[in-house]
Every structure is written in structure tokens, then in C-alpha cells.
A and B are shown apart, each in its own frame.
Chain A
């Protein structure tokens, strides 16, 4: 235990370690490399033994096993993390900006009255202070935030750090909560899986993705026509799904699908981090947006500043020629 240790919440998502868990270890190393201290990975689950080996890049892996941690519920998860923080007194607690991270990071910060930064993409240490780079306002603004107090609760954007290549000490220990965890007012009942039958966009080589720029439901047809001549399928960013214009199985991004097609044609998508997280590894990305400063152009191979309602039909015609 050292005041320079960094605690990483290694999230388990439906019986698999989340990709962001390893990225958080790299993020933690960017702190401990400058300050000393250990990287501690915390796994909350019914039985975390199966995940410990994957977290060998950490110096210590702490497994808290409890039936109430088998699936996510805020009360027991928060209590377990809080007890861990009290025991280890880390310099920083790193949590991924995931579905449960958006609950746990701010609730932990509120409980501890600790400083918090949302959307961390890079971390440095300067004169003993953490300097956190954060992306906000839909990735249209970057902030450099100094965090002096401890523990700093940092909610890290998935995809911001590469998974570690070097191993840590990888010591594994299992702990039992000092007091029995309580289920609390919010209880997990069951997972609801997407209905089979729709197109599986994770298996498509070519995806035509539509965002807010499609403007209305009738215009989705333009993307369908383009996808048809390309031999691909249509998918969407969250605002289109929220409108009910396409089913949830077509959503790409943090709370949707992660895709890696040969071609990702992004039409009218601004490129918020939540969307980019799900498509940035496509082989070829072509983005069309009316805003020349849209963040989607930062991840695209080719960009076009144009109205998709005019370009999509022109492109359909050009492909057919």
C-alpha cells in the first residue's frame, strides 16, 4: 500500500473482462511511471479467478468475490470499491467510461468528496500534480485539468490508451468484504439479449452508417439504396436509434455494436467519442459531414464536407455506373 498506488477497476461484462480494463492499466502506468507506486487491478465478480491471468500487466490483482457481484447492481459494487479505496488509499482510481463506469465513477467521487474528471484521454504528472487531458462537448473541445487532491477519480474514455505489452508483478489476492455486502434498492434481474433475425452488422464487410444528418426517417432510404449497390448494410449512431428509425441492433458505439468492416461510410455522423469507440478500427473510413470541424474527420481516411442528402444519391449513381 502506497499513496502513489493507482487503482484500476477492471470491469467484467457478462462473464468477460472488458477491453477497457487493460487500457486502464496502461493509463495507470502513465502515472506510476512518474511517481512510483503500484498498479492495482480490482475485479468485482462472483469468482474472479478466471480473469486474474489476463491482468498480469498489473502489479497486484485483487479479486473481491461475492454472489452479489455476479451481475452489476450499484449498491454492492460501490460498497466494494469504497472499501478497497479505504484500504489502499490510492493516488487515483481509474474507471472506464462504460455503462457501469458512468454510474460508479461519479458516485464514488461524490461519496469520497474526491476530485473527478470525465472523459480522460491522456494523463501526465507535473510537479506532483496529475494533468488530465479530457475530451468533452462531443469531442469539439479539449480540456487540460489539474488534479491535486487524492484520490482522483478519473473516468477514462475507452480506446484512449493501448493495452500494455509489459507484464507487471501480477500478484493475485482474494479478499472478502469486511462487512457483508447488501443488495440495496437497485437489484439486477436479468439480461435481455437482442432479438435474432436482424442483420448482424458485426459480420458485414461494408457498412453505410447514418447519423443525425439524415434528418428524417424517410431519408434512411437513401442510405439503404447506397448500401444496396455496395452490397452492405445500414447502421447508425445513437440519435437515429433513439428516434426509432432503425432497430437497436443497428447501433454502433459504446452502447451498441463494435464493428470492424472493410468499409465504413459515415454519413452525417459528427464523431462523438461514444460512436467512434465502436467503429474506429474499420479498415477504411469515409466520412461525409456538413461541418468541416466534425471530429469524425479525425478518424476518417477520407472526408467530404457536403450534405449527405445530396451526396448519397450521387454516390449510389456513381457506384452503379
Chain B
């Protein structure tokens, strides 16, 4: 099986997010970046398929943020090929990103394209289904777990529904899957193996043109939500706050 995985960088929500001077965009210059969590799961799912059933895994990423470190980590985990797409400026919106990624992915001839089901900074589109559309492939997302199907050229996937219910679907390849979670948590890679990968891994850089996609929506304003007006904040040392919470729970009859 020939698996292509798309990996993105997103602002780390541990750090405060800022709005730029236009008031309509995130100030990416002040943000730090991490790998998009569900993309990391997509990579883990691809590596699991490779280990269990044999596959070639190619990782494709737009060159933004801290992507080099993420790609070296992907190589250390077992990715066979890394394709990096140079980017001029900030990452494009999902529709344009999908067009650029599709141009790079088409020649790779993947049977299965795995993409994280969402990124927290998507506002006017969702990359995974847009990429499927650009590639002319079927798509299903919110997937937790992929296995080869009984019939050649198929996989069986679990789509997550409320109430810890899964739907088992069969997917005829080629297809794009939006991964929510891999069958196991993304593996930890020791720094020593990442350093080794930095010495042994060559990225393939492929230039793809950013499409002239006219935006279909206009962002009028970005702003952080107003501070909570609801929660009563309890302050003090751990023991003081703990005593206060215990008292509240006793007042409400929730503990004796």
C-alpha cells in the first residue's frame, strides 16, 4: 500500500493568541507552532499500517512554522519519503492549501491519503475533504482506526459517533480519510533518533504554485472571547482553595 500523510503546523494554544494590526488575522509572528494533533494521529495510523501490513509512507507538508523538526520526527518514526512544499508567506486558507497539496500528491500515486480530520485554526474550510475534492477521491472523516479490508484494494475504518459508538465502513481505494485518532497514541521518539534522522533524511522540495483562489468569505473581525462572566474564581493557596471547594460541596449537599 502506498500511503500519503499530510502534516500541518498550527499555533500552539498553550501560548496566548494575538490578532494582528488589521484586526482580521491571527498574528502568526507572535505564535509558536506545533504539529496539528490529528495529523500526528494520521501519521501514527500510517506507520501502524506499514508495520502491520507493509506500506510505503510518504509525508507531505507545506513549509511553515517548525515543520522541519516535525518532518525529522516523522522520518524517525518510520516515514519513507518526505516532501516539503516551499511556501511564500503565511499558510494559505484551506481551499488554496488543498489545491497546492493536491498538485504535489497526484504524482505520488497514493492508494490512501491520511489527513487529520480538522485543525483548530480552520475557519472557512476543512482541508481533508477539500483535498479529496481536488484529488477527485472519495472521502470520509472522523475516523479512529484503519485496517486492510478482506477484499484487495479496500480498507475497513471505524467512524466515531456520539456515545462511544463506532460505525464500521468499508472503503474502496484510492480514498482520502480524515483521521481523528490512530489505533494507538502517537509514539514517542527519542531525541537521539530524531538527531540521527536529521543526518540521514533528505527532504524532497517541490515547488507548487499557490492558486489564485478568490476568498468566498470576508473575515470582518477577529477577537478573543470576552473574559468569563460566569465562573466565580476562587483564589488562595491550594489548601485554602481546596477547603473552600469542600465547603461549597457540603453546602450543596454533595458531600457529607
B122, B129, B227 pick with most chain A CB within 10 angstroms: B129
Interface of A is mostly: mixed
The reply on A26 being an interface residue by CB < 8 A is: no
A302 touches B181 (CB 8 A): no
B161: which A residues are within 8 A, CB to CB? 13-14, 99, 191, 255
Task: For chain A, residues 164 to 197, give those with C-beta under 8 angstroms from any C-beta of chain B.
Answer: 184-194
A119-163 to B contact mask, C-beta < 8 Å, 1/0: 100000000000100111111111111111100000000000000
B249: which A residues are within 8 A, CB to CB? 230, 263, 319
B17, B162, B231 pick with most chain A CB within 10 angstroms: B162
B164 touches A194 (CB 8 A): yes
A311 touches B184 (CB 8 A): no
B130-164 to A contact mask, C-beta < 8 Å, 1/0: 10110000111110000000000000101111111
The reply on B246 being an interface residue by CB < 8 A is: yes
The reply on B185 being an interface residue by CB < 8 A is: yes
CB of A147 to closest CB in B, whole Å: 5
A191: which B residues are within 8 A, CB to CB? 161, 165-168
- Kindly report which residue of chain B lies nearest to residue A229, judged by CB atoms: B255
CA distance A202 to B7 in the complex (A): 36
The reply on A304 being an interface residue by CB < 8 A is: yes
A187-225 to B contact mask, C-beta < 8 Å, 1/0: 111111110000000000110000000000000000000
B165: which A residues are within 8 A, CB to CB? 14, 191-194
A185 touches B171 (CB 8 A): yes
Residues of A within 8 A of B (CB): 13-14, 71-75, 98-99, 102-103, 105-107, 109-111, 113-119, 131, 134-149, 184-194, 205-206, 229-231, 238-239, 241-244, 248-249, 251, 254-258, 262-263, 270, 272, 284, 286-287, 291, 293, 295, 297-306, 310-311, 314-315, 317-319, 321
Of the A-B pairs whose beta carbons lie under 8 Å apart in the complex, a sample of 20, sorted by A's number, is: A74-B138, A99-B160, A103-B142, A105-B126, A116-B124, A134-B123, A145-B217, A146-B220, A186-B171, A186-B172, A188-B167, A193-B165, A230-B255, A255-B180, A256-B162, A293-B16, A302-B233, A305-B233, A314-B238, A318-B242
Residues of B within 8 A of A (CB): 11, 13-14, 16-17, 19, 26, 37, 41, 95, 117-118, 120-126, 128-130, 132-133, 138-142, 156, 158-172, 175, 178, 180-181, 184-185, 216-225, 227-228, 230-235, 238-239, 241-243, 245-246, 248-249, 252, 254-255
